[in-house]
Amino acid sequence: SVLQQAGRNPSQKTVNKYWTSQTTALNFDDFCTILKKEKPATKTELLEAFGKIDADNTGYILHDELYKILTTRGEKMTRDEVSAITKQAVFNCSGKLDYNK
């Protein structure tokens, strides 16, 4: 989606807040307004979220663990959505993501 290209990955709940059954299109100004209202997660929020996933507190998350969580919990993501996110991350040769970097 255009939001994902802008570096955002909104939940379906967030999308539904702006794209109702009466919505037929969004113009550029509407899009910019939405981006201003929906702030990306802060570094602190991201570290807290990763910390909850990292049960043994190693500072790393395995690629396979992240994939499983993103595709099975909460608002489940598709394989393509997870792929788009993980392409932006740097996993070491052991498949670990150091989320403190």
Higher pLDDT, 14 or 94: 94
Question: In terms of C-beta distances under 8 Å and separation of at least 24 residues, what long-range contacts does 37-41 make, across chains too?
Answer: 38/8, 38/10, 38/14, 40/7, 40/8
Asked if the model's pLDDT at residue 101 lies above 80, the reply is no
Asked if the model's pLDDT at residue 76 lies above 60, the reply is yes
Under a CB-based contact definition with an 8 Å cutoff, are residues 65 and 38 in contact? no
**Is the domain of 27 the same as that of 53?**
no
Domain assignment of residue 95, given as a range: 41-101
- CA distances 48 to 1, 13, 17, 38, Å, are 27, 21, 25, 19
Asked if the model's pLDDT at residue 83 lies above 80, the reply is yes
* Total domains present in the chain: 2
Mean pLDDT throughout 75-85?
A: 87
Asked if the model's pLDDT at residue 98 lies above 80, the reply is yes
Q: What is the pLDDT of residues 22-56, one digit of tens each?
A: 888 888 888 788 878 877 778 898 888 888 888 88
**Is the domain of 56 the same as that of 83?**
yes
Q: Cα(79)–Cα(15) distance, rounded to whole angstroms?
A: 19
**Is the domain of 95 the same as that of 56?**
yes
pLDDT at 71: 92
Under a CB-based contact definition with an 8 Å cutoff, are residues 63 and 91 in contact? yes
Q: Cα(37)–Cα(35) distance, rounded to whole angstroms?
A: 6
**Is the domain of 2 the same as that of 25?**
yes
Asked if the model's pLDDT at residue 1 lies above 70, the reply is no
